[in-house]
Amino acid sequence: MDLNLLLTPVLSLSAIGLVFGGLLSFASTQFAVQEDPRIAEINAVLPGANCGGCGYPGCNNYATAVVGGDPVDKCTVGGPAVAAKVATIMGMGALTSKTRMIARVMCHGGTNCVNAFTYKGLDECVAANFVLGGPKACKEGCLGGGDCERACKFDAIHVNEDRVAVVDMDKCTGCEACVKACPKSIIDMVPAPQLVFVDCKNKEFGGHVRKNCVNACIACKRCEKACQFDAIHVINNVAVIDYDKCTNCMECAKVCPTKCIHVVGGLPVVEEAS
Amino acid sequence: MENASVLTIIISAILVNNFVLSRFLGICSFIGISQKVETALGLGLADIFVMAMAGVFAYFAEVYILQYFNIEYLRVVMYILIIASLVQFVEIVLKKVLPSLYQALGIFLPLITTNCAVLGVALLNVQYNFNLIQSVVHSVAAAVGFTLAIVIFAFIREKMESNDIPEPFKGFPIALITASLLSFAFLGFQGMI
Q: Contact A28/B92, CB-based, under 8 Å?
A: yes
pLDDT single digits (tens) A65-97: 888 878 887 888 887 788 888 888 887 755 555
pLDDT single digits (tens) A107-149: 888 888 888 888 888 888 988 888 888 888 888 889 888 899 9
Return the CATH class of domain A100-193: alpha beta
Chain A residues contacting B, CB < 8 Å? Answer: 8-9, 12-13, 16-17, 20-21, 23-24, 27-28, 31-33
Q: Contact A9/B69, CB-based, under 8 Å?
A: yes
Taking the alpha carbons at both ends of chain B, their separation in whole angstroms is 11
Q: What is the pLDDT of residue B155?
A: 92
Q: Do domains A37-89 and A195-266 have the same CATH topology?
A: no
**pLDDT of B1 strictly over 80:** no
Q: How many CB pairs under 8 A join A and B?
A: 44
Q: What is the pLDDT of residue B145?
A: 93
Query: Domain limits of chain A?
Result: 37-89, 100-193, 195-266
Contact A72, A122 (CB under 8 A): no
pLDDT single digits (tens) B161-187: 888 888 888 888 999 999 999 999 998
Q: What is the pLDDT of residue A93?
A: 59
What does the pLDDT average to over A38-43?
84
Distance from CA of A244 to the nearest CA of B (A): 45
Q: Contact B96/A31, CB-based, under 8 Å?
A: yes
Q: What is the pLDDT of residue A260?
A: 86
Q: What is the pLDDT of residue B110?
A: 73
| Exposed e or buried b per residue across B124-134, where buried means at least 16 C-beta atoms within 10 angstroms of its C-beta | bbbeeebeeeb
Q: What is the pLDDT of residue B152?
A: 93
Q: Which fold has domain A195-266?
A: Alpha-Beta Plaits (3.30.70)
The helices-and-strands tally (H runs, E runs) of chain A is 10, 8
**pLDDT of A273 strictly over 70:** no
- Grouping H, G, I as helix, E, B as strand and the rest as coil, residue A158 is strand
Taking the alpha carbons at both ends of chain A, their separation in whole angstroms is 106
Q: Which residue has the higher pLDDT, B43 or A273?
A: B43
**pLDDT of A176 strictly over 90:** no
What CATH code is assigned to A37-89? Answer: 1.10.15.40
Q: Which residue has the higher pLDDT, A127 or B110?
A: A127
Distance from CA of B72 to the nearest CA of A (A): 10
Predicted confidence band at B141 (pLDDT cuts at 50, 70, 90)? Answer: very high
User: ∠ at Cα B72 (B70, B75), nearest 5°?
Assistant: 145
Q: What is the pLDDT of residue A274?
A: 44
Q: Contact A16/B61, CB-based, under 8 Å?
A: yes
